[in-house]
């Protein structure tokens, strides 16, 4: 199935300066937000106790916070979870206190205002484990980017490798910047989504680069900008179909999958949109900026071969 019945002729590279300026602003905004607000790390990274309680009627979060403050839990983070009847209470690690006893104290305090409140789940992560998970997660992302750089450089050449890495870093920074700006919970599932975004964006970029390399050998008399424009238009139908079908699945996850995977789905939605944009503009524009030429794309001619690659007797 194709979106376009014939190959379109959009001048993508003609607008690359505007696109790069837009990307630059997004990256600056994302880095600023990450520097000022930081990420709202979930329990997986910070450590502590998470308690989910359920009410028969809509819960009054302000009243719950006051009750917990009176009970000596003024640092508790209280928020709805999926519906107004479900409430999450997050607490920082406490010395000489087990998670079970902490949960019992929280439940007892809340029952003073509403005897129908019930415990639904309780999770505990130690602070040392949280630190290790955060460090290992960041290391996993750096290792993935390093191996991608080596892979693309081996398959294509260094200009394409730098272009793909620039696009991936662009996608990761903006995705994390959105989570920082809106203070969405950043936990292990979101980190997994960010790694998935890296793979998704790379796959789309590799498809575009394959066509660019092929067209450089077929359209030898054309300028690099014209060749890259033609390549982007030829792969546009495939890019849009992949993005749209993937986005439909992720939107279904977001609306029907429940609160537990909302962060995962949000990260994928952002990543798909930004990844599609970056494979068209960021990666390809980077290749032009690095002065790609038709000569650099020609296969190395072996001794005894003519221009068509046939051996001369």
Among residues 104, 125, 146, the one where a domain terminates is: 125
Among residues 74, 106, 125, the one where a domain terminates is: 125
Burial tier of 182 (Cβ tally within 10 Å: 0-12, 13-18, 19+)? exposed
Pairing state between β 118-125 and 83-91: unpaired
Strand partners, 121: 52
pLDDT of residue 220: 78
Q: With CA atoms as reference, report the closest residue to 126 among 94, 86, 84, 90.
A: 94
**Any domain includes 201:** yes
What domain count does the chain have? 2
Strand partners, 124: 49
**Boundaries of domain holding 87:** 48-125
pLDDT of residue 218: 85
pLDDT of residue 311: 39
Same domain, 143 and 115: no
Same domain, 121 and 135: no
pLDDT of residue 6: 72
CATH number of domain containing 235: 1.20.1640.10
Among residues 84, 106, 125, the one where a domain terminates is: 125
Same domain, 61 and 36: no
Same domain, 153 and 217: yes
**Any domain includes 180:** yes
**Any domain includes 6:** no
**Any domain includes 175:** yes
Q: 3-class secondary structure for 229-278?
A: HHHHHHHHHHHHHHHHHHHHHHHHHHHHCCHHHHHHHHHHHHHHHHHHHH
Cβ pair 186, 43 in contact under 8 A: no
Q: With CA atoms as reference, report the closest residue to 279 among 205, 210, 226.
A: 205
pLDDT of residue 251: 95
**What's the N-to-C CA distance of the chain in angstroms?**
47
Strand partners, 247: none
* Alpha carbon distance 68, 144 (integer Å): 43
Same domain, 105 and 205: no
Extract the runs of DSSP E, i.e. beta strands, from 69-176.
Answer: 77-81, 83-91, 118-125
Extract the runs of DSSP E, i.e. beta strands, from 11-165.
Answer: 40-41, 48-54, 77-81, 83-91, 118-125
Same domain, 215 and 66: no
**Any domain includes 102:** yes
Cβ pair 99, 80 in contact under 8 A: no
**Any domain includes 2:** no
**Any domain includes 151:** yes
Sheet holding 48-54, edge to edge: 77-81, 83-91, 48-54, 118-125
Same domain, 34 and 69: no
CATH number of domain containing 90: 3.30.70.3400
Q: With CA atoms as reference, report the closest residue to 49 among 131, 108, 106, 116.
A: 106
215: number of Cβ within 10 Å? 20
Dihedral class, residue 53 (left if φ above 0, else alpha if ψ from -120 to 50, else beta): beta
pLDDT per residue, tens digit, the chain (313 aa), is 455 557 788 899 988 999 999 999 999 999 999 999 999 888 778 778 888 999 999 999 999 999 999 988 887 888 888 788 999 888 877 766 665 678 888 999 999 998 889 999 888 776 666 677 778 878 888 888 888 878 877 877 788 888 888 999 999 999 999 999 999 989 888 988 998 988 888 888 888 988 988 888 888 778 889 999 999 999 999 899 999 999 999 999 999 887 778 899 999 999 999 999 999 999 999 888 888 776 666 655 545 545 444 434 4
Write out the H or E segment, with its range, that includes residue 82.
none
Same domain, 59 and 104: yes
Same domain, 257 and 156: yes
**Any domain includes 306:** no
Same domain, 156 and 280: yes
Same domain, 154 and 242: yes
Same domain, 89 and 20: no
């Amino acid at each position: 199935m194709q979106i376009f019945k014939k190959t379109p002729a959009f001048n993508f590279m003609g607008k690359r300066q505007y696109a790069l300026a837009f990307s630059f602003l997004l990256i600056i905004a994302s880095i600023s937000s990450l520097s000022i607000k930081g990420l709202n790390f979930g329990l997986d990274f910070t450590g502590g106790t998470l308690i989910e309680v359920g009410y028969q009627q809509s819960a009054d979060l302000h009243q719950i916070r006051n009750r917990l403050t009176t009970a000596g839990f003024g640092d508790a983070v209280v928020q709805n979870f999926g519906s107004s009847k479900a409430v999450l209470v997050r607490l920082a690690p406490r010395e000489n206190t087990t998670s079970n006893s902490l949960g019992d104290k929280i439940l007892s305090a809340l029952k003073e205002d509403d005897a129908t409140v019930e415990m639904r789940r309780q999770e505990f992560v130690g602070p040392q484990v949280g630190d290790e998970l955060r460090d290992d997660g960041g290391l996993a992302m750096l290792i993935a980017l390093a191996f991608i750089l080596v892979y693309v450089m081996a398959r294509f050449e260094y200009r394409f490798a730098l272009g793909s890495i620039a696009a991936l870093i662009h996608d990761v920074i903006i995705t994390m910047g959105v989570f920082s700006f809106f203070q969405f919970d950043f936990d292990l599932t979101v980190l997994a989504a960010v790694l998935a975004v890296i793979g998704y964006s790379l796959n789309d970029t590799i498809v575009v680069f394959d066509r660019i390399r092929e067209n450089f050998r077929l359209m030898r008399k054309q300028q690099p900008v014209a060749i890259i424009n033609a390549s982007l238009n030829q792969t546009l139908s495939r890019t849009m179909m992949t993005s749209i079908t993937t986005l439909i699945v992720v939107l279904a996850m977001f609306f029907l999958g429940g609160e537990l995977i909302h962060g995962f789905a949000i990260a994928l939605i952002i990543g798909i949109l930004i990844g599609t944009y970056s494979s068209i503009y960021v990666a390809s524009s980077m290749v032009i900026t690095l002065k790609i030429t038709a000569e650099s794309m020609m296969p190395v001619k072996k001794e005894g071969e003519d221009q068509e690659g046939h051996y001369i007797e």
